[in-house]
Amino acid sequence: MQLIHTFPHPGLLSGAGIRVLLLSGEADPIARKLEALGAEVQARDELYTALADILDDPQDAGLFVMDCDTIEAEGVEGARRALRILSETRRHIPVILISRAFQRQSFPEDRFQPVELRAPLSAVSLKVGFEHALRDRLDVACA
């Protein structure tokens, strides 16, 4: 009886090649988790610098992740203002918000609404949120 099954091909990373713009005052722990999913992470620590990056080159990042608890004096409300700015400029990019303020995880069906993940962030919740936020792109890649 064989207890371990080996596969001829290495496992695929769900985020292979996805460019992620990470807004966080403490980017290292989240960046490492995103990189473990295969993402290419570009970290910013200031909200308006990150917004400028998206507005200047919206095709550059495939996902915008905001650690709301470390955005200086901005928090969840600052993140929601940023989303309104992006919406008004018709820049549609998948977004994940991370905060201790969220009572539970939220995975909305509306593709223009952000995924909300409760901090502290586990690798599993980030993977599920990542795959949900990028479900359109991942569905195309798997087809």
pLDDT digits (tens, 9 = 90+) for 44-65: 988 889 999 888 876 678 999 9
Select from 3.90.1150.10, 3.30.470.20, 3.20.20.10, 3.40.50.2300 the CATH code of 19-142.
3.40.50.2300
| DSSP-assigned letter for residue 106 | B
Digit-coded pLDDT (tens) for 66-103: 999 987 657 899 889 889 988 888 778 899 999 999 99
| DSSP-assigned letter for residue 34 | H
Q: Does 28 score more than 60 pLDDT? A: yes
Question: Taking a C-beta distance cutoff of 8 angstroms, is the pair 62, 92 a contact?
Answer: no
State the virtual CA torsion across 121, 123, 125, 130 in degrees, nearest 10: 110
Task: Write down the pTM of the prediction.
Answer: 0.84
The domain spans of the chain are 19-142
Count of C-beta atoms within a 10 Å radius of residue 60: 12
**Cis check: omega of the bond before 120, within 30 degrees of 0:** yes
Query: Would you state the pLDDT for residue 117?
Result: 97
Angle, alpha carbons 85-70-39 (nearest 5°): 75
